[in-house]
Amino acid sequence: MSRTPEPGTPEPGTPEPGTPEPQPTLVTPQVLRGWRLPEPTGGKEARGSILVVGGSTETLGAVLLAAEAALRSGAGKLQVAVPRSLAPVTSSALPEALVRGLAETDEGAVRADAADRVLDLAESAAAVLVGPGMVDEEQTRLLVQRLLPELSGPLALDALGLAAVTADPACLHHLEGRVVLTPNPTELAFGLHVEEVEDPPQAAREMAARARAVVALGGETSWVAAPDGRLWRDESGGAGLGVSGSGDVRAGVVAGLLARGAEPAQAAVWAAHLHGRAGERLAAQVGRLGFLARELPAEVPRVLSEVDL
């Protein structure tokens, strides 16, 4: 149920009036080298299992992009949950994944009553990503609303997976900051109930405070806001990243880093830079415009190696 604050009452998590906000940190390789990702030891179990939930009969590609990006960022095991009719083709497209079919609508979207199945899968996952390629807003919102009380995190919500947060930002409060939201500017504006985002860093901070979650906002400049007011700015990337599927790749990188054991703000900041630098590498190889989102995941391990000198 949506909770509307009384007039004059600040949203939960909003800093007290007059509290100075921390200045944004510019993300550089040097900053990341001082904030090392957890170093995996042993085999695939030690690197974490990621569960990616999403897709529809028209948008399977979004799941494929996010799932590959999660593995490319270092997750050890991959589970993918898609509409039941898509499970066979998904298994062929992702031979590394354990693929599970979910109840679907007549239009080929994931149904809300698939929640119990998703929760069963989430029990063995180190992190969960919900949203890539989901197309039925009502069914997706209901699905996430049913999942959230039973999840303990880490969790990433992307695209329509954000619908439950738009309806009630407090739905994430029990997860105590173990969530990363990955909106684009249009989705963030919708979540804040405004026509458009005029001040991206402030809007990201506002949503982070309302939801008590990390917000990773894409765009020409990437902004990552933590619920405690910390803010990071990443200027890597370029115009070529403004292409279909690019956001799915970034969400997958966030989820893969969460599965590896990165804390939410760290996963979001590293993902912004890995995604941006992958775009820059492709721009140098292919051209400033015209490279494809499907080409981004293969660049992520190379960027990881560059940063982790």
In this prediction, residue 204 carries a pLDDT of 98
CATH architecture designation of domain 42-307: 3-Layer(aba) Sandwich (3.40)
Q: Which residues fall within 8 angstroms of residue 199, CB to CB, at 6 or more apart?
A: none
Residue 242, token pair as written in the block:
């403004």
Q: What is the pLDDT along the chain (309 residues), one digit of tens a residue?
A: 333 344 343 433 344 545 567 789 999 999 999 999 998 665 555 678 999 999 999 999 999 999 999 999 999 899 999 999 999 999 999 999 999 999 999 999 999 999 999 999 999 999 999 999 999 999 999 999 999 999 988 999 999 999 999 999 999 999 999 999 999 999 999 999 999 999 999 999 999 999 999 999 998 899 999 999 999 999 999 999 999 999 999 999 999 999 999 999 999 999 999 999 999 999 999 999 999 999 999 999 999 999 986
Q: Report the candidate in 259, 39, 248 with the shortest Cα–Cα distance to residue 127.
A: 259
CA–CA distance, 78 with 100 (Å, rounded to integer)? 11
pTM strictly above 0.75? yes
* Residue type at 181 in one-letter notation: L
- Cα-atom radius of gyration of the chain, to the nearest Å? 18
pLDDT score for 45: 59
**Could you tell me the residue ranges of all domains in the chain?**
42-307
In three-state secondary structure terms, 261 is coil
The confidence score (pLDDT) of residue 44 equals 55
CB half-sphere exposure, 293, CA atoms < 13 A: 22
pLDDT at 6: 40
Tell me what pLDDT residue 127 has. Answer: 97
